[in-house]
Structure 1
């Protein structure tokens, strides 16, 4: 059976959760100190904060990547300490004392290390969600404040009887650098950050489900036959008339065929254009993540 989920990057539904009624002593806690400074990578595909934790011979690497401005990000972690996650149905992410959320839609993979591989996971996340459980990283830009970012000094991952804690140190300065990086992304796309930050309406497909079904229809048989999950991150530039002038897939985890076909669908999708603070249609962007689960 094939299931598809699509979530605009700025409207990612997350299930709020805690550790349930499991007593704290039932968890096997492991705390890892930082092994490297934060590294900020800026490319056309987005901005990524990266840092290693733990001993050099068994390090765990954390990456926080944004494909556009906002509160949401893609979280990926790789290292041997994640080996037990392959048998788990969900993982609970915690950000300091801000909040925890349980994610059953995380995706597993492997990362090449030297001559071998280590397990990895990736998922969509944010430091905090509003009360309705939706993260709207553009329209609700004030949900996560710089003060909240500065107050987060650790990230935890809990599953089964495991509790892995990464002592990140304050995320205040790293996330400030990330914001500067994503503003530079807007300028690289030919968009004015001041205009984009003042939009009164954001681009949206005139028929979202039609676009979803069309992308679902192009899921490659080769991926389905091998039981391979799909995850497409794409970004489209939408002009003031609601037409797609550019579409590109970013940080791909799929066969190139899938990425090309997904963007082909997006290019023929009609959008309601963005409106500036005066209600005038302007160029903007639409970024989304499409996920396939096979099971």
Structure 2
């Protein structure tokens, strides 16, 4: 059960229109690699060869119908942060307009970083993507994964395509990994999968405003931006049992106050298939972005 929040500073950022261009097409160099890390599931693959090697990663921090996506390599050296970037996963798909971050990704060089991408929607709209209070457990859709045969990014006349092939098996592997994360946190995946509803955050609007308003001052003055993941364990009585913040991007001064705010959160608890309240997960992505 997750939501996406965004904090916005009052600075304008211009977007660059994407122009049609013949894509740089990169073939896979090896198989998918799935890393069962302590706090996330990381699915990676390499494309191209030698100095033209490119990196693709899907990251999930809990079960969700989307994933954080990072791509990196020399093909992205002209991509600019927060500039319009068109994304698509197949020839028949209409490109989605997105505004990702850019940065350096290890030895792979210039990278493009998405807080969340869905193969059917691109970047989910901020504050509209929550599954809280809905039945079942949202996960990646392997049917959509089967239709997703490449990842193509286009920005400012440069187009780069990573030829992944169908990603249904990769999505299924990520789904299995995130269910294992629930087990690691002492939660019951089966109760989540068959739940009548997830936890409902009753005072969400008031606390979200507080989180959004508190862009850390030192980070804002330095123009520091980043993506955080917040995981909240909600007890069977609706109280906040624990809150964890994980930085999905490297930052120096950017520390989110969200967990302090969440101590005041009030939830209606999740209910299982029989209607019994149970200990469950509420999670969200928080994007600190200068505009």
Residue number among 93, 115, 118 corresponding to 2:110 in the alignment: 118
Greater than 3 Å deviation, 4+ residue runs: 97-101, 132-145, 254-260
RMSD: 3.0
- Number of equivalences: 274
CA deviations over 1:155-180 (Å, ceiling 9, x no partner):
11112222211111221222221121
Residue number among 126, 135, 146 corresponding to 2:142 in the alignment: 146
Q: Is the 8 A contact 1:45 1:251 kept in 2?
A: no
Q: Counterparts of 1:152-167 in structure 2 under 5 Å?
A: 152-167=148-163
Q: Is the 8 A contact 2:47 2:54 kept in 1?
A: yes
Task: Please report how far the alpha carbon of residue 145 of structure 1 lies from its aligned counterpart in structure 2 after TM superposition.
Answer: 4.1
Cα distance in 2, alignment partners of residues 142 and 255 from structure 1: 29
Counting strand residues as a fraction of each chain, which structure ranks higher?
A: 1
1:62 and 2:56 matched: yes
Query: SS in structure 2 opposite 1:85?
Result: coil
1:288 and 2:284 matched: yes
Query: SS in structure 1 opposite 2:78?
Result: helix
**What is the TM-score when the length of structure 2 is the normalising length?**
0.82
Q: Counterparts of 1:202-213 in structure 2 under 5 Å?
A: 202-213=198-209
- Hey, what does 1:46 align to over in structure 2? 40
Cα distance in 1, alignment partners of residues 52 and 135 from structure 2: 40
Q: Which moved more, 1:83-92 or 1:233-242?
A: 83-92
Task: Please report how far the alpha carbon of residue 100 of structure 1 lies from its aligned counterpart in structure 2 after TM superposition.
Answer: 4.4
Is the alpha carbon distance of 1:103 and 1:234 closer, same or farther for their aligned partners in structure 2, counting shifts above 3 Å?
farther
Q: Which moved more, 1:285-294 or 1:135-144?
A: 135-144
- Hey, what does 1:189 align to over in structure 2? 185
**What is the TM-score when the length of structure 1 is the normalising length?**
0.81
Cα distance in 2, alignment partners of residues 98 and 136 from structure 1: 28
Cα distance in 2, alignment partners of residues 245 and 64 from structure 1: 29
CA deviations over 1:18-56 (Å, ceiling 9, x no partner):
xx996xxx4131100112321101122121110111122
Q: Is the 8 A contact 1:92 1:100 kept in 2?
A: no
Is the alpha carbon distance of 1:94 and 1:223 closer, same or farther for their aligned partners in structure 2, counting shifts above 3 Å?
same
Unaligned runs of 5+ in 2: 6-16
Q: Counterparts of 1:232-251 in structure 2 under 5 Å?
A: 232-251=228-247
CA deviations over 1:131-189 (Å, ceiling 9, x no partner):
x9865667586896433322322111112222211111221222221121111111111
CA deviations over 1:233-270 (Å, ceiling 9, x no partner):
11111111111111112243365765462222123322
Query: SS in structure 1 opposite 2:174?
Result: helix
1:36 and 2:30 matched: yes
Residue number among 3, 16, 32 corresponding to 1:8 in the alignment: 3
Cα distance in 1, alignment partners of residues 138 and 183 from structure 2: 21
